[in-house]
């Protein structure tokens, strides 16, 4: 099996702030499936003052019961397609430090990223992650 050729995706930003102005950070204004996206994240951010983690989150902390994504660890990087930066009911995908996401033809809209946590804990967050997003050439 041959690996696809990856091309940079035009991004609005390559940083995801742990404490965004809203809930989600807009990273790409519009994507439309079908496509494959490769997302890589580096650095550390704070899910609580003086408590850092990388994009894969903190296994030991578990998953907060009312987190944005109830399948991802606390502090993990998650994504969603479409909706608004303030939308807390959207279906999200777990990104972590590396993921290849197949985007179906039913998915289109803005691409957003954020930290997985409870909404009322976002004020405790700090720092940011650096991201690289690429699209498979068809």
Q: Residue 77 sits in which domain range?
A: 6-136
Domain contains 1: no
Which CATH number do you get for residue 86? 2.60.120.430
Number of domains the chain contains: 1
Q: Which residue has the higher pLDDT, 70 or 99?
A: 99
pTM for the structure as a whole: 0.94
Where is average pLDDT lowest: 7-16, 60-69, 70-79, 128-137? 60-69
Domain contains 56: yes
pLDDT of 134 higher than 80? yes
What integer pLDDT is reported at residue 90 of this predicted model?
81
Domain contains 35: yes
Domain contains 10: yes
What integer pLDDT is reported at residue 61 of this predicted model?
64
Q: How far apart are CA 63 and CA 15, in angstroms?
A: 24
Q: How big, in percent rounded to 5, are the helix, strand and coil portions of the chain?
A: 5, 50, 45
What integer pLDDT is reported at residue 1 of this predicted model?
65
Where is average pLDDT lowest: 8-12, 18-22, 27-31, 58-62? 58-62
Q: What is the mean pLDDT of the chain?
A: 93
Judged by DSSP in three states, 98 sits in: strand
What integer pLDDT is reported at residue 88 of this predicted model?
86
Domain contains 95: yes
Q: Is residue 23 within 8 Å of 86, Cβ to Cβ?
A: yes
Domain contains 48: yes
What integer pLDDT is reported at residue 23 of this predicted model?
95
Number of H helices, E strands in the chain: 0, 12
Domain contains 86: yes
Q: DSSP state, 125?
A: -
């Amino acid at each position: 099996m041959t690996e696809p050729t990856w091309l940079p995706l035009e991004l609005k930003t390559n940083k995801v702030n742990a404490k965004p102005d809203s809930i989600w950070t807009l990273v790409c204004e519009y994507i439309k499936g079908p496509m494959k996206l490769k997302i890589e994240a580096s650095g550390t951010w704070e899910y609580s003052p003086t408590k850092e983690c990388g994009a894969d989150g903190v296994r030991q902390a578990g998953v907060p019961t009312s987190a944005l994504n109830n399948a991802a660890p606390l502090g993990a990087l998650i994504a969603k397609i479409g909706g608004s930066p303030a939308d807390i009911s959207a279906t999200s995908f777990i990104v972590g430090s590396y993921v290849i996401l197949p985007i179906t033809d039913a998915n289109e809209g803005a691409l957003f990223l954020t930290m997985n946590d409870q909404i009322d804990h976002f004020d405790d967050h700090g720092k940011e992650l650096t991201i690289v997003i690429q699209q498979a050439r068809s």
